[in-house]
């Protein structure tokens, strides 16, 4: 297992512990940066490099948990793995509740730690990709007209063209034209793609009101109701 263009920050006041882990990471080409304190990490952190943090709980100055909360407040997208000689259940629960990827007690077997770091990187990459997809879908949906947005809200509820036309007080052919416009702007190959984009952007609440529309029965979302909207 090799790590390319990835970095791990070793935040621990114990120089011997940092050096030992740094030597382990060198064997898998994982660049490491040693930090004696949370403050050192904040000065050294480079957001342009995909990274993770190996964090001790007890540190001089700001504690490991305090650093974790600081990073959460600033919405820094970096995996955090606590590797500590001061583990207790309450601290572990607090760390995991606040989003830590792992909480391990020293001494930790090197291969186990490498595996956990790899998992954290992969999980973080998937999260970042979903976030990028969400933002791209939001930008694309912002191009829709008011009426296209109304039609979209009906589509994600699994309604057919006929039901949408009745709900919005327009002709069925007009609904078809708006659907075509939505698909063109989203560069979608099917209504499945449209619905996926809408869900990725957060447009997934069947109870959300549609402006200037007549009331129509709302069916709970499931695959069958969405499939009926493809016709």
In sequence order, the β-bridge partners of residue 81 are: 54, 102
pLDDT, tens only, 156-188: 888 999 999 999 999 999 999 999 999 999 999
Q: Given this chain, do its domains 6-132 and 143-228 carry the same CATH topology?
A: no
* C-alpha span between 124 and 41 (Å, rounded): 19
Tens-digit pLDDT profile for residues 81-135: 999 998 888 999 999 999 999 999 999 999 999 999 999 999 888 888 888 888 8
Query: Could you tell me if 79 and 92 are in contact, meaning their C-beta atoms sit under 8 angstroms apart?
Result: no
| Cis ω for the linkage preceding 70 (within 30 of 0) | no
pTM of the model: 0.64
Position 229 scores a pLDDT of 41
The pLDDT assigned to 226 comes to 39
Buried b (16+ CB within 10 A) or exposed e, 180-190: ebbeebbebee
User: Residue 73 in contact with residue 94, Cβ under 8 Å?
Assistant: no
Query: How confident is residue 145, by pLDDT bands cut at 50, 70 and 90?
Result: very high
Residue 228 is predicted with a pLDDT of: 41
CATH number of 6-132: 3.40.50.2300
Cβ count near 154 (within 10 Å): 25
Tokens 């263009």: give the residue: 5
Does residue 146 register a pLDDT over 70? Answer: yes
% the chain with pLDDT above 90: 63
CA distances from 219 to 154, 160, 225 (A): 10, 11, 7
In the chain, domain spans:
6-132, 143-228
Query: Each residue of 6-59: pLDDT tens digit?
Result: 899 999 999 999 999 999 999 999 999 999 999 999 999 999 999 999 999 999
CATH 1.10.10.10 describes domain 143-228: yes
């Amino acid at each position: 297992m090799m790590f390319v263009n990835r970095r791990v920050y070793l935040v621990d006041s114990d120089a011997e512990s940092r050096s030992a882990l740094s030597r382990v990471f060198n064997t898998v080409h994982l660049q490491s940066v040693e930090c004696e304190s949370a403050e050192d990490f904040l000065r050294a952190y480079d957001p342009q490099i995909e990274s993770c943090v190996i964090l001790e709980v007890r540190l001089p100055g700001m504690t490991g948990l305090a650093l974790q909360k600081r990073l959460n407040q600033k919405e820094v997208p970096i995996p955090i793995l606590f590797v500590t000689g001061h583990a207790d259940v309450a601290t572990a629960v607090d760390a995991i509740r606040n989003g830590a990827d792992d909480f391990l007690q020293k001494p930790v077997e090197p291969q186990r730690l490498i595996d956990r770091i790899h998992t954290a990187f992969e999980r973080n990459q998937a999260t970042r990709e979903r976030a990028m997809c969400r933002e791209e879908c939001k930008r694309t949906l912002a191009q829709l007209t008011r009426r296209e947005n109304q039609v979209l809200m009906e589509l994600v509820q699994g309604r057919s063209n006929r039901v949408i036309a009745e709900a919005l007080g327009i002709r069925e052919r007009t609904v078809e034209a708006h659907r075509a416009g939505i698909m063109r702007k989203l560069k979608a190959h099917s209504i499945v793609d449209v619905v996926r984009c809408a869900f990725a952007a957060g447009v997934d609440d069947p109870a959300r009101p549609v402006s200037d529309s007549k009331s129509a029965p709302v069916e709970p979302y499931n695959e069958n109701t969405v499939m009926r909207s493809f016709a």
